[in-house]
């Protein structure tokens, strides 16, 4: 599946619909109602960030194609996937069509399951848009944005968050950054020390408790394919009891490296909290990858406080 298409008729003039899909304050009301207090900010380049307090996460880039008729948004950080809105006057209202594209740029195994979740997400989002413009209560107060942009996957066995970024560095260099505890600290958690018992299956990444030296935030290596993939079992921190599996996958691309991180194992989560946890991890991993890219390319960390 290379595209996702959804449409809806809205009893509102085209200019009003255009305002709702381009004004950050209005976008926040129908697209991210699950984040009460969130503030969306649009800069001069069209980049939108979502802020919860002082922390801002990259959200999307808005690029109008034809004013009051068509615009395209690009997912961040590397604008792989696009969502194109097309507005047409119809029956004294507006027909809104959304076409999600770019799935062909993803690994073949990831396309269909991510596209399916994206389609479900857009169905909810467009119904929220219609209700918002009609002054009605939103039908989906947990209409999460991560699946809209293709950041979730659901295969036959696993529900996962997956984010990726292109880094202008050779694969061997990126591999060291995600396996060397000192480098992990440098880009992921500058104020937190990481240690590794051994870079082998069964080895453990962990944060030593500064008072007791007990192992915290333990990740046990379950699969190791040097310079290509590292898979760990993320051990839960009480009161959490759910074990998840994290994977770093490195592939050569355009003279650099595409770094993909995924987290799987959400199925045991209670239904009422599962999507909240996935949404948090989606944005957190996106920010984390931006730090990794900046570190490896010699720039300043966009999120120096770490994760």
Instruction: Render each residue's pLDDT in the chain as its tens digit; 307 residues.
Output: 578 899 999 999 999 999 999 999 999 999 988 777 789 999 999 999 888 777 788 889 999 999 999 999 998 887 888 999 999 999 999 999 999 988 887 766 667 777 788 888 899 999 999 999 999 999 988 757 777 777 776 654 578 899 999 999 999 999 999 999 999 999 999 999 999 999 999 999 999 998 998 999 999 999 999 999 999 999 988 888 889 999 999 999 999 999 999 999 988 888 778 888 888 888 899 999 999 999 999 999 999 888 7
- SS3 of residue 219 by DSSP: strand
Strand 229-234's sheet: what is its strand order?
152-154, 159-167, 256-264, 244-253, 229-234, 215-225, 204-208, 195-196
Spatial CA neighbour of 105 closest among 228, 230, 260, 247: 260
User: What pTM value is reported for the model?
Assistant: 0.62
Residue 222 in tokens: 């379950």
Q: Which domains occur in the chain, in start order?
A: 3-154 (3.30.530.20), 159-296 (3.30.530.20)
Residue 285 · residue 161 · CB < 8 Å: yes
DSSP state of 101: E
Report how far residue 245's alpha carbon sits from residue 247's, in angstroms, rounded to the nearest whole number.
7
């Amino acid at each position: 599946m290379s595209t996702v298409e959804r449409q809806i008729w809205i009893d509102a003039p085209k200019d009003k619909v255009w305002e709702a899909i381009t004004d950050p304050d209005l976008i926040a009301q129908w697209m991210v109602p699950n984040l009460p207090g969130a503030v969306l900010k649009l800069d001069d380049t069209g980049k939108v960030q979502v802020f919860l307090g002082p922390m801002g996460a990259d959200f999307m880039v808005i690029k109008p194609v034809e004013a009051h008729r068509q615009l395209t948004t690009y997912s961040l950080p590397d604008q792989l996937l696009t969502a194109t809105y097309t507005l047409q006057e119809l029956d004294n209202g507006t027909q809104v069509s959304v076409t999600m594209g770019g799935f062909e740029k993803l690994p073949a195994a990831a396309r269909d399951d991510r596209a399916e979740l994206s389609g479900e997400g857009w169905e909810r989002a467009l119904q929220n848009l219609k209700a918002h413009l009609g002054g009605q209560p939103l039908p989906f107060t947990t209409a999460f944005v991560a699946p809209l942009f293709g950041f979730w996957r659901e295969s036959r066995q696993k529900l996962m968050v997956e984010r990726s970024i292109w880094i202008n560095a050779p694969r061997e260099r990126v591999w060291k950054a995600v396996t060397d505890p000192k480098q992990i600290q440098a880009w992921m958690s500058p104020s937190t020390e990481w240690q590794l018992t051994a870079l082998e299956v069964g080895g453990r990444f962990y944060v030593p408790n500064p008072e007791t030296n007990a192992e915290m935030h333990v990740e046990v290596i379950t699969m190791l394919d040097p310079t290509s993939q590292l898979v760990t079992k993320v051990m839960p921190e009480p009161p959490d009891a759910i074990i998840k599996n994290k994977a770093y996958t490195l592939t050569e691309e355009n003279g650099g490296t595409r770094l993909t991180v995924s987290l799987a194992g959400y199925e045991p989560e209670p239904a009422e909290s599962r999507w909240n946890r996935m949404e948090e991890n989606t944005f957190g991993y996106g920010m984390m990858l931006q730090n990794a890219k900046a570190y490896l390319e010699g720039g300043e960390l966009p999120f120096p406080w770490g994760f």
